[in-house]
Homo-oligomer: A and B are copies of this chain.
């Protein structure tokens, strides 16, 4: 049995929030982004928020929503994968499930942001078919947008058009 067959994915329940809080700092390499992910997402955005488990252990999660202010857009607010499961396809699987959900709800674009320091996240998104959106500044050769918040002073912004990529079509 391959690793890809060994986990299950389901929509979240509120109690999953504490489990995600317990792993986030480690999964983000010591960066503490927990304040960006309040419990409300595990209570009111359950139909677009997923967890992956192996033998009841949390191995991945994705928190997204259908943008209320932009009818054609869906947004991935957070996604994390257990370090041992990186490059296994699990993260891509979570995104593709979200893409399918967004498309079923009439969304045509998925967006996400990450910190320029998170090179693994940048590579993950571009490998998955996301484009980097133009910014108003540049960090390490990447277009970035000034955005003073918990991610730092800049964010890299990604966009993927649903239907342009085989897996998401």
Chain A interface residues toward B at CB < 8 A: 14, 17-18, 34-40, 44-48, 65-70, 75, 77, 147-150
Instruction: Specify which of B38, B69, B147, B149 is in contact with A45 (CB 8 Å cutoff).
Output: B69
Q: How many copies does the complex hold?
A: 2
Q: Which residues of B contact A149 (CB under 8 A)?
A: 17, 38-39
Q: With A and B bound together, what is the CA distance between A35 and B70 in angstroms?
A: 25
Kindly provide the distance from the CB of A78 to the nearest chain B CB, expressed in whole angstroms.
Answer: 9
Q: Name which residue of chain B comes closest to A63, CB basis.
A: B40
B contact residues around A18 at 8 Å (CB):
148
- Which one of B36, B66, B68, B148 contacts A47 once the chains associate, using CB atoms below 8 Å? B68
| Known A65-B68, A66-B68, A68-B66; contact A40-B47, beta-carbon cutoff 8 A | no
**Do B36 and A38 touch across chains, with their CB atoms under 8 A apart?**
yes
Are the CB atoms of A39 and B150 closer together than 8 Å?
Answer: yes
Contact indicator A47/B35 (Cβ below 8 Å): no
Q: Which B residues are in CB contact (< 8 Å) with A37?
A: 38
* Chain B minimum-CB-distance residue to A46: B69
A-B contact pairs, 9 of them (CB 8 A): A35-B35, A36-B38, A36-B40, A39-B150, A44-B67, A45-B69, A47-B68, A48-B68, A65-B68
